[in-house]
Amino acid sequence: MMSLPRLLRIMLIALRYRLDELVLSGIDHPWAVRLLWVARLGSRPTMARGMRLRLALESLGPIFVKFGQVLSTRRDLIPPDIADELALLQDRVAPFPSREAAALVEAALGAPTGQLFAHFEKDPVASASIAQVHFAVLHDGRHVAVKVLRPGMLEVIDKDLSLMRVLAGLIERLAPDGRRLKPREVVGEFDKHLHDELDLLREAANCSQLRRNFAADGERKDLLWVPEVMWDYCASNVFTMERMYGIPVSQVDRLRALGVDIPTLARTGVEIFFTQVFDDGFFHADMHPGNIYVSDQPATLGRYIALDFGIVGSLSEFDKNYLAQNFLAFFQRDYRRVARLHIESGWVPASTREEELEGAVRAVCEPYFDRPLAEISLGQVLLRLFQTSRRFNVEIQPQLVLLQKTLLNVEGLGRQLDPQLDLWKTAKPYLERWMHQRVGLKGIRKKLTQEAAQWSQWLPEFPRLIYAQLSRPDLSAAVLSELQRSRQAREQGNRLLVALTGVAAVALGVALWALIR
């Protein structure tokens, strides 16, 4: 599967941009030192290292560009100057011919586009490295957007990925800093990311779930507008959804000219994110400005529109608990609690000394309080917490890394819209409400409701089980005579136990009946 000419080309480009300096400086393998010395002859780095890496990735093609974009979010691993430069990577590429797009749709949906759609726009509205989007109209008049996967993507990706794995192995072995950079882990993560993005049915299902989450109750309906999935027009390489009408959130001047209140927009953006994280545990994790639009239609002016559902994150109750408690403890500067939370939840080995962890957490968190609360980046705090945790042998769960990356995006977006945005003020009510719901009466009620079905099965069996336990025939004579001695006391106790169990069962039954009624 691995192509030698392609590997050589990658290496030549890497040398041309002197990328060896980035990862191999300080190398002490004799043959590699000599080889590098020859290869470096005549080339002299004149540009900043980040720019050289960006240009190299651009000349290696769309998969490497995508890799650079993903890498730009790993600020826990790479220095800020490189991350900033990689964030500039654009993966707009020339569209593939519309004939080919139409043929792919026909093959996937089993009918010619002329028969499937009342109208199918020949020219794509957008084309990126993985897919391109065509607008169309269904026979019932609904306007749709049809996302079509580029042909032959899987083969190209698998070839480039196997090369990346080879390079990652080399870097890990040769580079003095190789282990810390975790190149194989980064490529592994990228591999998963790409394969997820390649399955458009998966993306359609994510879209459908997000739409349901935001359509469920009236309050939320106005927060975020998510396209409806046209399931009859979807396949693994074709995703047809409702067409949305809006303006990219980054075009602030246009939005302002339409009368959209920008500070409100900034606050709502953060609220939407926290709603997804703490209420649903399911969040859109590719929140770059190109995927977030704002409605320009009179009826829905200013409402957020989500697009591109290739990457989403899911959080368990445990993750949410970890996040909420840590944020709250952090803002109360209660580092002992942060440390204890990590030990009690089993995040760090039980043998970890609480004071040691507390000291480490204090060292990373305290500098943040040098600035006003409104300027603190929750994404950065989380990142620093993760970095500290790593030193104490914690493997950070991928969904939390995804969340931290998205949080940085959301904060960036919010502050771009409104530099005065007080993130903590916007986030705090969510965290407190969530904690309240979890530990307060509401939380207990919710838990009981969830368990109600189980209890309704167990409850009727209680008297039989109690009776069976109290009249076990297999008690030996010795035990019986021993028991006879204390029979009186026990009978008294048993009567009390049965009475109490009965009362408890009735109370529980009434409570459950009230909850599920």
Ligand X SMILES: Nc1ncnc2c1ncn2[C@@H]1O[C@H](COP(=O)(O)OP(=O)(O)OP(=O)(O)O)[C@@H](O)[C@H]1O
308 binds ligand X per the rule CB under 6 A: yes
Biggest CA–CA distance in the chain, Å, is 101
Could you tell me the smallest distance in angstroms from the CB atom of residue 90 to ligand X?
A: 8
User: Which 238-277 residues touch ligand X, going by CB under 6 A?
Assistant: 241, 243-244
> Closer CB to ligand X, residue 91 or residue 375?
91
DSSP for 410-437 reads: HHHHHHHH-TT--HHHHHHHHHHHHHHH
Which helix (DSSP H) or strand (DSSP E) does residue 314 occupy? strand 312-314
What distance in Å separates the CA atoms of residue 155 and residue 134, rounded to the nearest whole number? Answer: 24
> Closer CB to ligand X, residue 130 or residue 324?
130
> Closer CB to ligand X, residue 214 or residue 278?
214
136 has which bridge partners? 120, 144
164 binds ligand X per the rule CB under 6 A: no
User: Which 191-230 residues touch ligand X, going by CB under 6 A?
Assistant: 227
User: Which 87-116 residues touch ligand X, going by CB under 6 A?
Assistant: 91
118 binds ligand X per the rule CB under 6 A: no
* 91 class by beta-carbon count within 10 Å (0-12 exposed, 13-18 middle, 19+ buried): middle
Structure tokens belonging to residue 1: 């599967």
61 binds ligand X per the rule CB under 6 A: no
Count CB-CB contacts under 10 A for residue 462: 15
E-assigned strand segments in 367-508: none
Residues forming the active site: 286
Look up residue 242 and give its DSSP letter.
E
| 10, 130, 168, 324: residue in contact with ligand X (rule CB under 6 A) | 130
User: Which 420-459 residues touch ligand X, going by CB under 6 A?
Assistant: none
505 binds ligand X per the rule CB under 6 A: no
Handedness of CA 245, 251, 252, 258 (dihedral sign): negative
> Closer CB to ligand X, residue 169 or residue 290?
290
What distance in Å separates the CA atoms of residue 208 and residue 375, rounded to the nearest whole number? Answer: 35
> Closer CB to ligand X, residue 78 or residue 230?
230
307 binds ligand X per the rule CB under 6 A: yes
Count CB-CB contacts under 10 A for residue 328: 17
Instruction: Output 29-35 pairs: Cβ under 8 A, ≥24 positions apart.
Output: 29/174, 32/174
> Closer CB to ligand X, residue 148 or residue 357?
148
CA dihedral 226, 228, 234, 237 (to 10 degrees): -10
> Closer CB to ligand X, residue 178 or residue 313?
313
Is residue 450 annotated as involved in ligand binding?
Answer: no
Candidate segments 302-310, 396-404, 410-418, 501-509, binder of ligand X by CB under 6 A: 302-310
Could you tell me the smallest distance in angstroms from the CB atom of residue 20 to ligand X?
A: 30
DSSP for 244-295 reads: --EEETT-HHHHHHHT--HHHHHHHHHHHHHIIIIIISEEE----GGGEEEE
Structure tokens belonging to residue 294: 């704002």
All residues at 6 or more sequence positions from 92 whose CB lies less than 8 Å from its CB, including other chains = 126, 127, 128
Distance in Å from the first CA to the final CA of the chain = 61
Helix spans in 349-395 (H) = 354-365, 378-391
Could you tell me the smallest distance in angstroms from the CB atom of residue 148 to ligand X?
A: 10
Candidate segments 50-58, 120-128, 217-225, 432-440, binder of ligand X by CB under 6 A: 120-128
What distance in Å separates the CA atoms of residue 292 and residue 306, rounded to the nearest whole number? Answer: 5
506 binds ligand X per the rule CB under 6 A: no
Candidate segments 125-133, 173-181, 186-194, 218-226, binder of ligand X by CB under 6 A: 125-133
Candidate segments 305-313, 347-355, 437-445, 464-472, binder of ligand X by CB under 6 A: 305-313
> Closer CB to ligand X, residue 109 or residue 292?
292
Is residue 125 annotated as involved in ligand binding?
Answer: yes
Packing angle of the helix pair 335-344, 317-331 (nearest 10 deg) = 160
Compute how many residues bind ligand X; rule: CB under 6 A: 18
Is residue 126 annotated as involved in ligand binding?
Answer: yes
Candidate segments 123-131, 373-381, 451-459, 482-490, binder of ligand X by CB under 6 A: 123-131
145 binds ligand X per the rule CB under 6 A: yes
| 19, 22, 23, 133: residue in contact with ligand X (rule CB under 6 A) | 133
Could you tell me the smallest distance in angstroms from the CB atom of residue 121 to ligand X?
A: 11
Could you tell me the smallest distance in angstroms from the CB atom of residue 244 to ligand X?
A: 4
Is residue 481 annotated as involved in ligand binding?
Answer: no
User: Which 310-349 residues touch ligand X, going by CB under 6 A?
Assistant: 310
All residues at 6 or more sequence positions from 298 whose CB lies less than 8 Å from its CB, including other chains = none
Candidate segments 253-261, 306-314, 359-367, 495-503, binder of ligand X by CB under 6 A: 306-314
| 36, 51, 103, 126: residue in contact with ligand X (rule CB under 6 A) | 126
Could you tell me the smallest distance in angstroms from the CB atom of residue 86 to ligand X?
A: 15
Residue type present at position 462: F
Helix spans in 332-376 (H) = 335-344, 354-365
> Closer CB to ligand X, residue 20 or residue 197?
197
| 60, 82, 128, 136: residue in contact with ligand X (rule CB under 6 A) | 128
What distance in Å separates the CA atoms of residue 507 and residue 389, rounded to the nearest whole number? Answer: 45
131 binds ligand X per the rule CB under 6 A: yes
Q: Assess contact for 78 and 71: CB atoms under 8 A.
A: yes
* 330 class by beta-carbon count within 10 Å (0-12 exposed, 13-18 middle, 19+ buried): buried
**Annotated binding site for ATP, which residues?**
125-133, 147
Contact residues: ligand X, CB under 6 A = 91, 125-126, 128, 130-131, 133, 145, 147, 227, 241, 243-244, 290-291, 307-308, 310
Q: Which residues are annotated as a binding site?
A: 125-133, 147
